Amino acid sequence: MRPNRHTQALINFKTKLFDRIEARDSSLAQQARELKLDWYRITNKADPDTGEEIAEVFIYDEIGGSFGVSADAFAQELSAITAPKISVRINSPGGSLFDSIAIHNAIVHKREEADITTYVDSLAASGASIIAMAGEEVVMLPGSQLMIHDALGHEVGNARDFRIMADFLDQQSGGIADMYAAKAGGSRDEWRERMQAETWMFAEEAIKIGLADRQFIPPAEDEEEELSAEPIINGTELDLSMLMTRKHELANRGFKYPGREKAPSPLPTDAHVTALANAFKPLLSRKVR
């Protein structure tokens, strides 16, 4: 949940660039400082069955942006939505922890006014998994992945500074674990164990562990689609479709694994452990001759 090396390089480049522009033209520098790189988009469409307005929120890049688009802007746009139904579609490697928590809370608050479903189109890793938990229903698309891990952070200083940072990260991770527990049940310690292990899940695994409710199954060709694969919005359907299915570069993000294929299976829940124990009781109770 920290900037990756590529993002940090962009931030450093931006700072140097703005300093150079400032030395030549202060008004131009101000315009440059207001430059934003959007990592989300909010659009509207009509329900094909009822004609009812549906808002679609697409989160398709590193949360927080490299050039200053924060959760504040997202929350303002979200609060302005008047549609009674909102689909939040996610394909993101994560990003700013605080922005992710703020967006999660903004979505939960918006649920007082609208029915909100979160869809993991391809990837909801790190902070993006926190946002996914905000939906009344969490839906995984075929082949999609969810990833949870402990909070990450940078620190420069002495041993005392690092101890303070470690305590801070533990506090933040505990709060995140509570969010997962609120969705799936279980204890904070149980979820911290999974977070510390860096748990990657395919759709079926996320459903089994309780972080997702169901997998989206594309309907037959002659049926209306429940979720548009290529939303037609002002001629940008191809652009959004590509953004929501593209693969993200996961190297150099501080992750232990580059995806579910290389990661171990998720730790089972207490319920699954109990079920397995009960299944083996008859065998364990047999006398050995």
Does a structural domain hold residue 19? no
- CATH code of 160's domain: 3.90.226.10
- Is pLDDT above 60 for 38? yes
Residue range 155-195, pLDDT digits in tens: 888 999 999 999 999 999 999 999 999 999 999 999 999 99
Q: Would you state the pLDDT for residue 170?
A: 95
The answer to whether 214 and 137 have CB atoms below 8 angstroms apart is yes
Does a structural domain hold residue 30? no
Cα 79 from Cα 170, distance rounded (Å): 31
Does a structural domain hold residue 197? yes
The answer to whether 44 and 78 have CB atoms below 8 angstroms apart is no
Range with top average pLDDT, 32-41, 84-93, 226-235: 84-93
The number of domains in the chain is 1
Does a structural domain hold residue 168? yes
Does a structural domain hold residue 217? yes
Residues annotated catalytic, as ranges = 126, 149
What is the DSSP code string of 233-272? STT-HHHHHHHHHPPPP-TTSS-S-SSGGGSPPPPPPHHH
Does a structural domain hold residue 33? no
Question: CB atoms < 10 A from the CB of 172, how many?
Answer: 18
Q: Would you state the pLDDT for residue 289?
A: 46
Q: What's the mean pLDDT in 13-31?
A: 71
Could you give the 3-state DSSP secondary structure of residue 176? helix
- Structure tokens of 68? 């200053």
Full domain range(s) for residue 70: 38-285
Does a structural domain hold residue 107? yes
pLDDT band at 235 (very low <50, low <70, confident <90, very high): very low
Q: How far apart are the first and last CA of the chain?
A: 56
pTM greater than 0.85 = no
Residue range 201-225, pLDDT digits in tens: 999 999 999 999 999 987 655 454 4
